[in-house]
């Protein structure tokens, strides 16, 4: 499989409502891919199906793991997904406010510790070494992303824009092949959004992972994504390059009255 993620005929209904309706799309390795659509189009529901928060009624989601093995995500449970190399961020920042930035990254690495919980509790030599390695890894990630000055700062004391970047940094602790991010620019001002675009590209270029992004800020989507899938009422409207999507009549219609947003 040349792609890292391949979704085929995905469908899920809530009562009578088809939130995702026979949707298929594919993300190539190391690609920055956008999923767009008006409010309620089904974007977050697609994410929830991929990461197994929801169980779809129908469809297949194939994923190429860290070991280059193609697996069917429908066969896995929600907590197993991260170990395959797929990690997500949520619509709201999910960090522990009382902990330092670096400790927030270390919490994210939990699934990677090889020593047992008992060894960790007593801080046996093996666990101590592991802790040291993880701390080094976290510090390297913060350095790569220009966040090393923030390592010891308490998360709660930092501006929202920094926390958004820290959330992205934390995903890298699990060596992801694909990071999926839901509305990263929500709540950010223009300067912070521009910094975020640079950060997203830097993450892909440094860590060679693919990124799937849901975002309403069309500037960010069009400048950052290499391919885009537009959906409405759970169905695919169009798929293509940013230019193709901008020119697509069905997409323009779905954003009716908001042509300026998409143009």
Ligand X SMILES: Nc1ncnc2c1ncn2[C@@H]1O[C@H](COP(=O)(O)OP(=O)(O)OP(=O)(O)O)[C@@H](O)[C@H]1O
Among 3, 44, 51, 193, binds Mg ion (CB under 5 A): 44
Instruction: Give the phi and the psi of residue 8 in degrees, each rounded to 5.
Output: -125, 125
Distance of alpha carbon 28 from alpha carbon 1, whole angstroms: 9
Location of structure tokens 């409502």 = 17
Location of structure tokens 């824009």 = 161
Q: Hey, is 115 helix, strand or coil?
A: coil
Closest CA to 86 of 210, 177, 3: 177
Closest CA to 134 of 98, 174, 176, 74: 174
Q: How far is the CB of 21 from ligand X (least distance, A)?
A: 11
User: Which spans of this chain sit near ligand X (rule: CB under 6 A)?
Assistant: 14, 17, 19, 37, 39-45
- Cβ distance to Mg ion smaller for residue 90 or 160: 90
Q: How far is the CB of 167 from ligand X (least distance, A)?
A: 17
Instruction: Write the DSSP string, 170-212.
Output: HHGGG--SEEEEE-TTTT--HHHHHHHHHHHHHHHHHH--EEE
Instruction: Work out what residue 42 binds among ligand X, Mg ion, none; the CB cut-off runs from 5 to 8 Å by kind.
Output: ligand X
- Cβ distance to ligand X smaller for residue 113 or 233: 233
- Cβ distance to ligand X smaller for residue 10 or 169: 10
Q: How far is the CB of 41 from Mg ion (least distance, A)?
A: 8
Q: How far is the CB of 238 from ligand X (least distance, A)?
A: 16
Using the rule CB under 5 A, give the single segment among 3-11, 25-33, 43-51, 236-244 that binds Mg ion: 43-51
- Cβ distance to ligand X smaller for residue 128 or 236: 236
Strand 32-36 and strand 178-182: pairing? Answer: unpaired
Q: How far is the CB of 250 from ligand X (least distance, A)?
A: 16
- Cβ distance to Mg ion smaller for residue 44 or 248: 44
Q: How far is the CB of 91 from Mg ion (least distance, A)?
A: 6
Task: Decide: is 48 part of the binding site for Mg ion (CB under 5 A).
Answer: no
Task: Give the distance, in angstroms, between the CA of residue 169 and the centroid of all CA atoms in the same chain.
Answer: 11
Instruction: Work out what residue 191 binds among Mg ion, ligand X, none; the CB cut-off runs from 5 to 8 Å by kind.
Output: none
Fill in the DSSP letter of residue 129: H
Count of residues engaged in binding Mg ion, rule: CB under 5 A: 1
CB atoms within 10 A of CB 62: 17
Using the rule CB under 5 A, give the single segment among 42-50, 54-62, 159-167, 241-249 that binds Mg ion: 42-50
Instruction: Write the DSSP string, 24-92.
Output: EEEEETT-EEEEE-STTSSHHHHHHHHTTSS--SEEEEEEE-TTS-EEEGGGS-GGGHHHHTEEEE-SS
- Cβ distance to Mg ion smaller for residue 44 or 224: 44
Summarize as ranges the residues that interact with Mg ion (CB under 5 A).
44
């Amino acid at each position: 499989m040349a792609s890292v993620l391949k979704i085929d005929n995905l469908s899920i209904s809530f009562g009578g409502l088809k939130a995702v309706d026979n949707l298929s799309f594919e993300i190539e390795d190391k690609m920055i891919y956008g999923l767009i659509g008006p409010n309620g189009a089904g974007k977050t529901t697609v994410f929830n199906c991929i990461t197994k928060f929801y169980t779809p009624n129908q469809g297949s989601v194939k994923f190429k793991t860290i070991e280059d093995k193609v697996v069917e995500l429908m066969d896995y449970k929600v907590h197993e997904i991260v170990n395959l190399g797929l990690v997500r961020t949520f619509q709201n920042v999910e960090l522990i406010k009382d902990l330092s930035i670096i400790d927030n990254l270390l919490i994210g690495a939990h699934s990677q510790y090889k020593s047992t919980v008992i060894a960790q509790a007593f801080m046996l030599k093996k666990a101590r070494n592991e802790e040291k390695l993880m701390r080094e890894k976290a510090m390297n990630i913060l350095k790569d992303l220009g966040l090393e000055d923030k390592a010891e700062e308490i998360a709660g004391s930092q501006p929202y824009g920094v926390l958004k970047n820290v959330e992205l940094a934390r995903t890298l602790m699990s060596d992801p092949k694909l990071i999926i991010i839901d509305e990263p620019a929500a709540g950010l001002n223009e300067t912070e959004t521009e910094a975020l675009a640079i950060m997203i590209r830097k993450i892909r270029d440094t860590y060679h992972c693919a990124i799937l992004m849901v975002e309403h800020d069309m500037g960010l989507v069009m400048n950052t994504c290499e391919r885009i899938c537009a959906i409405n009422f759970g169905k695919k409207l169009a798929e293509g390059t940013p230019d193709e999507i901008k020119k697509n009549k069905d997409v323009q219609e779905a954003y009716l009255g908001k042509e300026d947003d998409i143009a």
